[in-house]
Structure 1
Amino acid sequence: MKFLCIAVAASAMLLTNMSAASADQLDTIKSAGKIVCGLTVVQPFAYNDSQTREMVGFEVDLCKILAADLKVKMEYKVVSADTRVPELVQGRVDVLDALMSYTKERAKIIDFSNEYIEDGFYFIVHKDSSVTKVEELSDKRISVAKGSLYQVAAERKFPDADVIAFDDGPLAFLAMQQGKVDATVQRSAAAVGLQLRSAAGSPEIRLLDPPLLVQGSGFGVRKGEHRFRDYLNGLLDRLESSGQAQQLWDKWLGKDSDYKLTRNYKVGKPLTE
């Protein structure tokens, strides 16, 4: 009888684990009544408003749109560039809404939706720097955000350079401003924002052409969650066709923002490396 009870208990545990493992995340989110978005702090995509002390930004609004569409409560968790994927895989967030650019290596671990943002990553120097061409950085000091896609890209492009990783993009940018490195790599939108918020008298910046790379970012979901991924792709298509995607762009990056950037991509475009 004792062994029968143990066997029954073991079978029940196995069935429970199998059920949890096979649970559809989209249904799980709806049942829980909330979705937890993983956000990386990069202005204007996600940052704390100095007046309201609330998290705001392009990706924050995108998460709100997602939650409203699912008819669930929106929550968020701040994740760094190098912890984004582990936080998702380990179930501490439901979806990454955190400037996740596609790479083949990442795609082995998580799945990606189509893109909702596209931007160029540039080498950036002081306006009065003697560096005028990207190639001149081949043996220089370059700051990057730790765990970012462009850290790997910079190291591959310039194996003889001293590529120094900081905890986040703003710290990497500050290192360039302070002359601790010769250049930094940043998204063009993030770089413009950091410059706009720099203290009076801070050195002006210059972006070197061509960009190190141009990449789109999409939602990151756990591997195998195809129904959730397909739902997200459908949502992105609806945002583009309804004009809501343009409104989101104009608010944070376009004509209604301090950035005045032009959108040259279509939301819902498939991501490629």
Structure 2
Amino acid sequence: MSRFIKSIIAATTLLSLAVPALADQLGDIKKRGVLVCGTLGTAEPFSFADPATREIRGYDVDFCKAMADRLGVKLELKLVAVEARLPELAQGRVDLVVANLGYSAARAEQIDFSHQYFVSQQKIMVRSADGIKNFAGLSGKKISAPKGSSSELAVKAKVPGGEVVTFQDPPTAFMALVQNKVDGFALSELASVRFMQQVEGKVKLELIRESMLSEPWGLGVKKGEAALLKQVNDTLESMEKSGEAAKLHTKWFGPTTLYKSNREFRVEPIVLK
């Protein structure tokens, strides 16, 4: 072998060592045959343990299943805490996060967001007996919220003088209100309705009519995984076009459920107004 050819081979080897391999999480998922989806497991009706079977089910879980089905792989659910959603994704311990993940500019610097698959109204629940009717009435009072959630950030932005008290998960934050440890509880409107149903007849609760924010939710994808993000968005668009996405909303939030909610959004790219 000539000295010239040897020098080319050596240079090529050094170059391949210097340039990192391109990320291909989509390829890795297909190769292993399993999609690992991070979800909460504590936020009915989005992701919760069925009382009868203990199986984790819900609106978010159904979207996880749809993603796995389109890829032709098995689904593995991994329960994550609210504040661990982004770290679990960034560190590669889950492939997707489908866990009440509201879009924010700060989060979008850390991960990529899919198209919106849900739009949440963030509200504050109070005890009816306290007579609190607006955000001004919560000045100087304590409001609970899940740690690391959009609800926590919304309270800080919308309730001047309010003190945010964070808890590990939504049920614990809710119980703080029921047990008179705080004066308000911040969460998405639909999830709040479900919590209120759990204590109906024991404690009279209500939602302040003002909305802290209208928050688009997306599926979280690790930064730089363009192929996986495209696959997720293509699947969401297909679900919207076929009517599957609307059917899932009706299944969990429609006329026959506790929420009796109309779907006033579509699967589409997230655009903040």
TM-score, normalising length: structure 2:
0.89
For residues 222-255 of structure 1, the C-alpha deviation after alignment (integer angstroms, 9 at most, x for no partner) is 1111221122111111111111111101111112
Shift of 1:202: 2.2
Matched to 2:93, the amino acid is R
5 Å-filtered alignment, 1:1-273, equals 15=17, 18-19=20-21, 22-40=22-40, 41-198=42-199, 201-272=201-272
Shift of 1:15: 4.2
Paired residues, number: 260
For the residues of structure 2 that align with 1:237 and 1:257, how far apart are their CA atoms?
Answer: 25
Is this contact kept in 2: 1:113–1:271, CA < 8 A? no
For residues 76-117 of structure 1, the C-alpha deviation after alignment (integer angstroms, 9 at most, x for no partner) is 110111011000011100000111111111111110001101
For the residues of structure 1 that align with 2:256 and 2:35, how far apart are their CA atoms?
Answer: 29
Matched to 2:260, the amino acid is K
For residues 180-234 of structure 1, the C-alpha deviation after alignment (integer angstroms, 9 at most, x for no partner) is 1111111111011112223x53212211122111101110001111221122111
RMSD: 1.9
For the residues of structure 1 that align with 2:228 and 2:149, how far apart are their CA atoms?
Answer: 25
Is this contact kept in 1: 2:38–2:77, CA < 8 A? yes
- Point out 4+ residue stretches in structure 1 off by more than 6 angstroms: none
For residues 61-81 of structure 1, the C-alpha deviation after alignment (integer angstroms, 9 at most, x for no partner) is 111111011100000110111
- SS at 1:128's partner residue? helix
Is this contact kept in 2: 1:97–1:218, CA < 8 A? yes
For the residues of structure 1 that align with 2:256 and 2:247, how far apart are their CA atoms?
Answer: 9
For the residues of structure 2 that align with 1:17 and 1:188, how far apart are their CA atoms?
Answer: 48
For the residues of structure 2 that align with 1:72 and 1:171, how far apart are their CA atoms?
Answer: 35
TM-score, normalising length: structure 1:
0.89
Matched to 1:81, the amino acid is V
- SS at 2:230's partner residue? helix
Q: Flag structure 1 segments of 5+ consecutive residues without an equivalent.
A: 1-7
Matched to 1:261, the amino acid is S
Q: What is the percent sequence identity of the aligned residues?
A: 37
For the residues of structure 2 that align with 1:214 and 1:46, how far apart are their CA atoms?
Answer: 20
